[in-house]
Structure 1
Amino acid sequence: MRHLELKIPPPLVALLCVAAMWHLSKITPGLGLPTELRWFLAGLFVLVGVALDLRGLLTFLKSGTTVNPLKPHQASALVVTGVYRHTRNPMYLGLAFLLSAVAIFLDAPVAWLGVAAFVGYITLFQIKPEEAALRRIFGAAYREYCERVRRWL
């Protein structure tokens, strides 16, 4: 399965998960949560997701390192400031929050499988290969960072 490593851009993986979540929600019963509650909760998750994505992206841009998730070997700086003090993968975490917003809005418990699929796929085929590349580039500094900061939350 190594042929899937660093091949599909994470936003595209998220969109594929949204499509699957939507289709699954149409063939399974929902919880019946009030529409206003779903909008409110989904909105909160969207705000958190967008904030994480933007803060992660802006911190990368400010540091001058690559933002291309398919080419982690081009990293020129180890980013450990800002939101990266709390999570090693804020942009992927942000996408997971956005997918959670979709699951909440769809009101179908089975839609949460899309969030789980995203986290599993991204961890296996994106994050772990990125971590290997960053260990090669930054050595002990990256290993120490990994000891201090969790992968997701």
Structure 2
Amino acid sequence: MLTKLIPPPVVLLIGIALVYALSKAWPAATLDGSWLTWLAGVLFVGGGALMLAAVISLWQAHTTINPIHPERTRHLVTSGIYRFSRNPIYLGDALLLAGVVCWFGHPAGLVVVGAFVWFIDRFQIRGEERALAQRFGAGYSAYRVRTRRWI
């Protein structure tokens, strides 16, 4: 089911807010270390790079980046970063959220990352996949066979 009630960027912001709330509500569980800050930076850069590469690929194909209306997709993008993941933007979101967990140093935040991935997979990606299969038929089916949903 494609949820049009909560856009994916809002789901990400809710996840970030939950990680922050966990770190404030349960500060004794917070880890400390420069390695966490370094890892957070790597995850921020990696997630941002994935998202940027995906958006550039979609713009170059003159198709929509709006996840609420996959039926408006004009072209099936299977090149660039989309050769490796069918959902590089959501993968980038998950990496950014994992970076937030590292930044705040709260390991319980990893549950939020898992919940984000589950929610997006269940309520967003599956609906997008149905819309793309309906629009692009065999071309999308072949793409699904050769390219993983996440990584």
Equivalences for residues 68-147 of structure 1 within 5 A:
68-147=66-145
Partners of 1:32 and 1:18 in 2: how far apart?
Answer: 17
Partners of 1:62 and 1:20 in 2: how far apart?
Answer: 35
Partners of 1:39 and 1:25 in 2: how far apart?
Answer: 15
Q: Deviations over 1:39-96 (max 9, x none)?
A: 1110000010000000000100000111111000111100000000000000110010
Aligned to 2:22: 24
Partners of 1:8 and 1:90 in 2: how far apart?
Answer: 19
Partners of 1:22 and 1:31 in 2: how far apart?
Answer: 11
Aligned to 1:33: 32
> TM-score, normalization: structure 1?
0.93
Tell whether the 8 Å contact from 2:82 to 2:88 is kept in structure 1 after alignment: yes
Partners of 2:85 and 2:132 in 1: how far apart?
Answer: 15
SS at match of 1:109: coil
Aligned to 1:63: 61
Tell whether the 8 Å contact from 1:21 to 1:113 is kept in structure 2 after alignment: no
Q: Deviations over 1:86-111 (max 9, x none)?
A: 00000110010000000111111111
Partners of 1:92 and 1:85 in 2: how far apart?
Answer: 15
Deviation at 1:33, TM superposition (A): 3.0
Partners of 2:5 and 2:79 in 1: how far apart?
Answer: 27
Question: Between Structure 1 and Structure 2, how many residues are aligned?
Answer: 150
| Runs (5+) with no aligned partner, structure 1 | none
Deviation at 1:31, TM superposition (A): 4.9
